[in-house]
């Protein structure tokens, strides 16, 4: 077991440039009095389409379209939940000051949490600068923030993309992008104020909103799924979707999380329920109504998420739930998890969410649209499994919950040596560590997701009460030509970013795949090089040797035939169970 000790006074400097170099020490001197961010606004980013000259976001007359923002659900003063953070879009009219160009201004921000969340964009290129966090106890730390460019920044990490840019000479059919970027905070300390980055170079770093992302208290994640793409669905109008999901741990209250990730427009949820599954689409008892901030339904803006209110409901461990939600308006595209390995259901027209009967549910689907999480109250927190198709359960028996995360969850329930963590499956079939399969923009034909690096904040760091992350990825990288050095650099970055947020980081070696068409001798050499690094590294707290579990002793480059699903890449049920049973549960505990 390899363990790294982290001082409470220092937060790790991250490799990405979007994360801080945080250090704590005594505050010296007194800067300017902190002010609310809106009192520091000095730039106009949003214009009315009829009066584009009223704003000049980039110094060349370019601006965001107020009409496009409204169409995306980003209306003035609206609170947006993105990756566990709550940020308010400025309550300003088009043509008014609505953002601040960062230059060391002191902003009044209060709260305890795991990260600061910034709603930002750069102009003139990606803008990077170093700022300061000041804590109530008199200490302070520095952070490094990068705001990707509003026109050329990566689509994979954007919060929202707008279809037009306004200019004095007319509207351009070019995308404008806004980003939510988080940087870690020192655990347990209360933030008093934040000094924005100073001297971000030739580019301008624009800040629209800033908040402390609070740590989740009193909840444990029992089920989750990653958004793998934004695909065509249905089309559905006035339909109820009834999704079947399998819990890991149980609890006396429940809430769900719906994500409109990668979307271009809001989605309306007319109402939602939860129930224990009976047979197929039938509920074992009357479904219970969920609410959203006291209302029966909710609208989720493009790129945002919504949590339901806590509901007193006895969620059983290791059991199937039915999560049903009514879609009153037309839905032709949606964020989905493509490989559910589970049949779910779609109704005939109408709101059938509260019905126990399966009669209205006449169609089946094998993906999970919109729903990304189910939480239960209490519990010790969650272990997050970041992986590809093997973690996703591809080639396991459909509807049987034989994925290795399911087997691991059952093992945790049936022991008392370590906490009975919830297990969150963040596997995406075809996913890679360092390259995007889905660009993160537009309607997707590929559902391999954005890279592990690009989805780490959303799929791991922002997950409910995450305590430990297990990283089991890399085979798709080497199969498609990535070098061992590239994969190793990505895995190191994941470990560093996880540690900076206070998570325990565990890695698993890459399984063999000889016999599969892309698992060439050259690819296997890169795989073995990555595994050599993992077995002898100090970046991760522990290593699970899944390669050793699955390989054929007679031919170590291939999966043992008894564990092979038949395609030489994916283990079948027996192999997946062997992975879960090989895990020393003590390595998961913080």
**pTM, 2 dp:** 0.94
**What was the pLDDT predicted at 271?**
98
**What was the pLDDT predicted at 30?**
55
Rounded Cα gap, residues 315 and 78, in angstroms: 32
Q: What angle do CA 222, 226, 231 make, to 5 degrees?
A: 135
Sign of CA dihedral 247, 249, 255, 261: negative
Residuewise pLDDT in 10s, the chain (590 residues):
333 333 323 333 333 333 333 444 433 345 689 999 999 999 999 999 999 999 999 999 999 999 999 999 999 999 999 999 999 999 999 999 999 999 999 999 999 999 999 999 999 999 999 999 999 999 999 999 999 999 999 999 999 999 999 999 999 999 999 999 999 999 899 999 999 999 766 689 999 999 999 988 899 999 999 999 999 999 999 999 999 999 999 999 999 999 999 999 999 999 999 999 999 999 999 999 999 999 999 999 999 999 999 999 999 999 999 999 999 999 999 999 999 999 999 999 999 999 999 999 999 999 999 999 999 999 999 999 999 999 999 999 999 999 999 999 999 999 999 999 999 999 999 999 999 999 999 999 999 999 999 999 999 999 999 999 999 999 999 999 999 999 999 999 999 999 999 999 999 999 999 999 999 999 999 999 999 999 999 999 999 999 999 999 999 999 999 999 999 999 999 999 999 999 999 999 97
Phi, psi of 223 (to 5 degrees): -150, 145
39: closest CA among 207, 192, 182? 207
> 136 Cβ partners below 8 Å, 6+ apart?
189, 190, 191, 192
- Cα→Cα distances 224→92, 337, 566, Å: 36, 10, 28
Rounded Cα gap, residues 242 and 357, in angstroms: 12
Element (H, E) at 512: none
The residues pairing with 547 across neighbouring beta strands, listed in sequence order, are none
Count how many residues are written for the chain. Answer: 590
**What was the pLDDT predicted at 200?**
66
- Specify whether the CB–CB gap between 293 and 309 falls below 8 A: yes
Q: Which two tokens stand for residue 590?
A: 């913080």
> 140 Cβ partners below 8 Å, 6+ apart?
24, 25, 26, 27, 132, 133, 134
Rounded Cα gap, residues 39 and 551, in angstroms: 61
Number of H helices, E strands in the chain: 9, 41
Q: What angle do CA 295, 426, 297 make, to 5 degrees?
A: 10
- Specify whether the CB–CB gap between 58 and 124 falls below 8 A: yes
Taking every pair of Cα atoms in the chain, the longest distance, rounded to a whole number of angstroms, is 73
């Amino acid at each position: 077991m390899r363990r790294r000790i982290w001082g409470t006074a220092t937060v790790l400097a991250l490799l990405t440039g979007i994360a801080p170099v945080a250090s704590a020490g005594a505050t010296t001197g007194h800067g300017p009095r902190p002010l609310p961010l809106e009192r520091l606004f000095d730039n106009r980013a949003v214009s009315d389409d009829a009066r584009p000259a009223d704003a000049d976001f980039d110094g060349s007359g370019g601006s965001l379209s107020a009409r496009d923002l409204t169409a995306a659900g980003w209306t003035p003063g609206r609170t947006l939940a993105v990756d566990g953070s709550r940020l308010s879009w400025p309550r300003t009219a088009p043509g008014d000051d609505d953002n601040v160009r960062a230059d060391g201004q002191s902003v009044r921000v209060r709260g305890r949490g795991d990260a600061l969340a910034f709603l930002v964009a750069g102009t003139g290129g990606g803008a990077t600068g170093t700022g300061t966090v000041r804590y109530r106890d008199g200490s302070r730390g520095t952070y490094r923030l990068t705001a990707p460019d509003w026109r050329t920044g990566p689509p994979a990490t954007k919060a929202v993309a707008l279809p037009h840019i306004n200019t004095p000479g007319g509207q351009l059919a070019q995308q404008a992008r806004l980003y939510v970027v988080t940087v870690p905070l020192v655990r347990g300390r209360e933030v008093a104020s934040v000094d924005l980055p100073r001297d971000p170079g030739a580019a301008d770093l624009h800040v629209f909103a800033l908040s402390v992302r609070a740590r989740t208290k009193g909840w444990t994640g029992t089920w989750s799924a990653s958004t793998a793409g934004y695909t065509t669905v249905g089309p559905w109008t006035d339909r109820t979707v009834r999704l079947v999901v399998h819990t890991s741990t149980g609890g006396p209250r429940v809430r769900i999380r719906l994500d409109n990730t990668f979307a271009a427009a809001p989605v309306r949820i007319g109402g939602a329920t939860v129930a224990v599954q009976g047979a197929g689409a039938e509920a074992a008892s009357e479904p219970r109504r969920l609410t959203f901030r006291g209302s029966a339904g909710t609208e989720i803006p493009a790129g945002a998420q919504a949590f339901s209110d806590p509901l007193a409901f006895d969620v059983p461990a290791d059991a199937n739930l039915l999560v049903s939600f009514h879609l009153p308006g037309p839905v032709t595209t949606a964020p989905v998890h493509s490989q559910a390995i589970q049949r779910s259901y779609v109704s005939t027209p109408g709101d059938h969410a509260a019905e126990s009967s399966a009669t209205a549910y006449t169609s089946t689907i094998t993906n999970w649209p919109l729903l990304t999480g189910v939480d239960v109250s209490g519990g010790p927190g969650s272990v997050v499994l970041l992986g590809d198709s093997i973690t996703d359960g591809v080639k396991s028996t459909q509807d049987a919950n034989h994925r290795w995360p399911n087997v691991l969850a059952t093992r945790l329930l049936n022991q008392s040596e370590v906490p009975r963590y919830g297990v969150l499956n963040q596997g995406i079939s075809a996913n890679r560590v360092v390259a995007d399969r889905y660009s993160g923009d537009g309607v997707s034909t590929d559902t391999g997701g954005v890279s592990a690096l690009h989805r780490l904040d959303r799929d791991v760091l922002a997950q409910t009460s995450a305590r430990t992350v297990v990283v089991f990825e890399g085979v798709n990288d080497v199969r498609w030509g990535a070098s061992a050095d590239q994969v190793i650099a990505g895995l190191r970055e994941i470990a560093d970013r996880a540690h900076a947020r206070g998570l325990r980081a565990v890695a698993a070696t890459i399984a063999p795949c000889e016999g599969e068409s892309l698992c060439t001798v050259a690819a296997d050499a890169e795989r073995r090089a990555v595994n050599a690094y993992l077995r002898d590294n100090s970046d991760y707290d522990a290593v699970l040797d899944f390669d050793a579990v699955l390989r054929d002793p007679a031919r170590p480059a291939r999966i043992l035939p008894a564990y092979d699903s038949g395609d030489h890449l994916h283990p079948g049920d027996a192999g997946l169970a062997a992975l879960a049973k090989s895990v020393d549960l003590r390595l998961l505990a913080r």
